[in-house]
Structure 1
Amino acid sequence: MTEPLTGPQKSAVGIESATIQPIPADQRSGTNRDMFTIWFGTNVMVLAIVTGALSTTVFGQPAWSAALAIIIGNLVGAVFMALHSAQGPRLGVPQMVQTKGQFGSRGSVLIVLIVVLMYLGFFTSILIFGGASLASVIPPLGHSGGILIIAVISLAAAIWGYALIHTYARIMTYLSGAVLLLAFVWIFAVHSVPAEFFHTSGASLAGFMGTVSASAVWQLAYAPYVSDYSRYLPVKTGAKPAFWMSYWGTTLGSILPMFLGASVGLLLPNLDPVVALTKATAGISGLVVVVFSVGVAATNAMNLYCGTLCTITVVQTFAPRFAARGRERALIAAGLVLIAISVALTVGDDFTQTYNNFLTLLLGSLVPWTAVNLVDYYLIRHGDYTVEDFFRRDGGRYGLVNWPAVLCYLIGVVVQIPFMVLGTAYTGPIARLLGNTDLSFLVGLIVVSPLYYATVTVLARRKSRAISRNHRQSIHPERTEPR
């Protein structure tokens, strides 16, 4: 087995052997620019285009409203994503390992399992849309063939690990960026755009907020694993450079392909977004679809890589002596791929609405976690954690279960339910009163952030008073005796 790769500047030919272990400060390398390329290069892909298309197809927004909502959702959601990224250089561990510092060793298991399901959900969605893209330009492949090709490429990159994923993303930054620009020029300059494309009627608060939510969850979905990549950066990189490079990489890499998705949704509203993209770029559709489909393999490799690390984290929680390396990571990754392929090959034809509902549920489960994590890291502990205790069976100073964090998380999930809109499947009573407008993620942030901070602060004060009282009693025991 090879030595752990320690940064994106290392050769991508060796298989990474490190998994969830802390990356020592003297074994880190790379620059903050690597955070830009990995998040830009992996966002320019088919699934981002499909997410953007939701704004004009599922949510029925005109061009101006769709564009504004996409920008707002991404800019706001990426703040939380980048704040998590800034944690990596300091702690040097995957995000879900660090979550033990807020929820306790076993209290974090619920969160980690939800995140594993998230990775599988995104992995499966990318297989479905990416497979359809490949099949649209290479018909002999068929949908199943496209799914299998993307799955194999994703698995290979995930097994090789961090360095290859970074190299892959760096190449795709330039390649996907150029093809994305070409696609815009081709659609608007080569093909005639109907006058109704720029109509201004039809905007609604419900559709606008639905687009904002879908865009925000796109960014929030990176929060559970963004520091898995920044953990390899040298400590001297600092939090601010990691924050800003991650922020602009992910926002620019997401907003532009989402604009493309919104555009093809307006041009061909009655078609599947993938088919609409192929028709809208007729003449260069083969190049566009193949490049964007190859790009999804990079993103799927990240989903698989981090899903594997989360699975290892769960196992290590109950078996601290389990020291997974490259071989174990490869076996777990292969198992997750088999599950995703099985689901991808059995879903129905109309997966777009199902995908939108998945994003809504995902947002509801991630928002309370990110609120607890960021408040704890930045406002309570100020980044001061004992990393060694994350790997102890008893959780060390963080214990087995930190009930205030767990309860605040559960409250955060529950309070969002009345504000949720899940397509035709469910509309919360308050969302219905607001004209089917989904404000659930805003409610989750507003409730959980101050609730967790106040709870921890009050408990800390009570503990401090109890310690002071016991100290006084130990010095002057006669004061405690009855007269």
Structure 2
Amino acid sequence: MSHPHTTEAVSYPEPLGHPETRGIELIDSSQRRGRARDLFPVWAAPNVSVLNFTVGASMILLGLELWQAFLVIIAGSLPWIFTGIIAISGPAAGTSGSVITRAIYGIRGNRVIVAFFGWFISAVFLALNWLASSFMGAELVAQLGYADPVAGPVLVTIVVAAITVLVAVFGHGLILRSYPYVAVVLLGIFLLVTAFILPHVNWNYAAAEPLEGAALWSAVSIGFAILASTPLSYSNSPDMARYLPESTKPSRIIAATALGGALPCALFTTVGALLATGIDSAAMDPGIESALLALLPAWLGPVFVIGVIINTISLNGMTTYTASMAFQSIGVPIRRIPSAVVVGAIGTGLTIYLVMSTSLLEAVNLMLQLLVLVSGPTMAIFATDVIRRRNRYDGSELFNEKPGSPFWYSGGWHIPGLLAVVLGAGVASLFLTNGWWTGPIAGAMGGIDLSVPVSMLVTAAVYVALTGIAAKAHGTRVLEGVRA
């Protein structure tokens, strides 16, 4: 039957003092507001992150020279263009990305993909970012006299998670209004921290045993996979852009989204690489957060920890907000606000588990690489579909769930989309290298990790080929559900 949310009217922007009641409902053109450039701080605030320091340090721990690490960081920033490309589908369709992907997977197939792939990505990133603030917040709590190594991080996690859910509950209006100020505050704090890091940098750093041949390319490819996993995971970018007028220039949306995320990521990942040259690797065993705090003056340490917590709230607030709409899109009969609470509870549970079982550095590297098997194919197919359709999506048809509707396909399943994602992930696993799994092809190549390019190229190629075959079989090349 037709989706009930399409007829509900909610004014925009909602008063800042009230929660956003809109979920995945179609946004009428009369309710569209804003400019593309408003998206820049929305993406900058979540990405002025301590995880950038952690990932940057990982580049050096992999054995790379500084100049090699810098090149990998630049290359790892390029996938942000895909985050920008899929963002333009939000204003075109006027709804959430988790609804737009019905055009790719079919009405029923989309529920499976969003429930598994979307929730996995959201849960992992909620946990990773809460984990960072938990470890560092525990350091601050310990300075205040509460030094329990388990209860401290758990307590910080619960408090930060509660505030995060509140941000998600108040939603798009709060995010759009507050994130520009958050971005400025975080940029100031992180630049101040950088100023105290730079005197400790070993500008003449050279790896003890310079990498060559397969070992070098293995380190480069693993570093790229870790870096690329962040922009490739942001399949929620249409959600943040969907309130923009449909007439907004796509190029401006792409630029604001991609640059908003890429610039702070690249800058502070570079700082993380520089930081690792001045710290003994053994000092980072407990976690880079402890080594970093040891370099800062007593007054700046608490300020930095507060900045980390604010960043975590901004990033996970956005993630929880969009994940709550994903819950609705799979057909769960729940409103967006209680859905946000459920998402927050799941992420909190996973974070507490990680707090008691691993270090931040281990968790970040392992999960980001595994995430590529999910985020690479789903991002590639989304971007491919936007390009293939020339960003023409009929929002009202996306909510038509009746058999025979444009996105019903074969019994509610779009085989080309589903098969492309599964094949992309499966083939990519053969090229993946990390501490938990080394694919047979990656092993045969000396540990070179090509999971990111392989996952994206295979997925896009299979999708284009199969949709072309399906179109010829039906004697037409007209795309389903495209607005004339």
Distance in structure 2 (CA, Å) of the matches to 1:349 and 1:52: 19
Equivalent position of 1:125 in the other structure: 128
Change (3 A) 1:11 1:46: farther
Q: Which runs of 4+ in 1 moved over 4 A?
A: 198-201
Equivalent position of 1:149 in the other structure: 159
Residue 342 of structure 1 pairs with residue 346 of structure 2: no
Decide which of 393, 397, 416 is 1:385's aligned counterpart. Answer: 393
Paired amino acid for 2:296: T
Residues 222, 449 of structure 2: 8 Å contact kept = yes
Residue 280 of structure 1 pairs with residue 295 of structure 2: yes
Distance in structure 1 (CA, Å) of the matches to 2:427 and 2:358: 33
Deviation per residue, 1:280-319 (Å, 9 max, x gap):
3234222122112211111010111111111111125xxx
Residue 438 of structure 1 pairs with residue 449 of structure 2: yes
Residues 46, 293 of structure 1: 8 Å contact kept = no
Equivalent position of 2:481 in the other structure: none
Change (3 A) 1:198 1:456: same
Q: How many residues align?
A: 448
Decide which of 30, 34, 59 is 2:34's aligned counterpart. Answer: 30
Equivalent position of 1:471 in the other structure: none
Equivalent position of 1:82 in the other structure: 84
State the shift of 1:115 in Å: 0.9
Change (3 A) 1:148 1:466: closer
Residue 170 of structure 1 pairs with residue 180 of structure 2: yes
Residues 47, 130 of structure 1: 8 Å contact kept = no
Paired amino acid for 1:127: W
Distance in structure 1 (CA, Å) of the matches to 2:17 and 2:364: 35
Residues 5, 162 of structure 1: 8 Å contact kept = no
SS of 1:236 mapped into structure 2: coil
Distance in structure 2 (CA, Å) of the matches to 1:303 and 1:71: 25
Paired amino acid for 1:314: I
Equivalent position of 1:374 in the other structure: 383
Residues 27, 94 of structure 2: 8 Å contact kept = yes
Residues 104, 414 of structure 2: 8 Å contact kept = yes
Distance in structure 1 (CA, Å) of the matches to 2:202 and 2:39: 39
Equivalent position of 2:263 in the other structure: 252
State the shift of 1:375 in Å: 2.1
Deviation per residue, 1:439-477 (Å, 9 max, x gap):
01111222222222122122212311799xxxxxxxxxx
State the shift of 1:28 in Å: 1.2
Q: Residues 384-463 of structure 1 correspond to what in structure 2 (within 5 A)?
A: 384-394=392-402, 396-399=405-408, 400-423=412-435, 425-463=436-474
Q: Residues 8-23 of structure 1 correspond to what in structure 2 (within 5 A)?
A: 11-23=15-27
Paired amino acid for 2:103: G
Distance in structure 1 (CA, Å) of the matches to 2:11 and 2:358: 41
Residue 331 of structure 1 pairs with residue 338 of structure 2: yes
Distance in structure 2 (CA, Å) of the matches to 1:5 and 1:169: 21
Change (3 A) 1:43 1:229: same
Distance in structure 2 (CA, Å) of the matches to 1:163 and 1:331: 18
Distance in structure 2 (CA, Å) of the matches to 1:262 and 1:110: 39
**TM-score between the two structures when normalised by the length of structure 1:** 0.87
Residues 186, 307 of structure 2: 8 Å contact kept = yes
Paired amino acid for 2:104: Q
State the shift of 1:194 in Å: 4.0
Distance in structure 1 (CA, Å) of the matches to 2:321 and 2:70: 32
Unaligned runs of 5+ in 1: 317-321, 468-483
Decide which of 220, 223, 226 is 1:214's aligned counterpart. Answer: 226
Residue 184 of structure 1 pairs with residue 194 of structure 2: yes
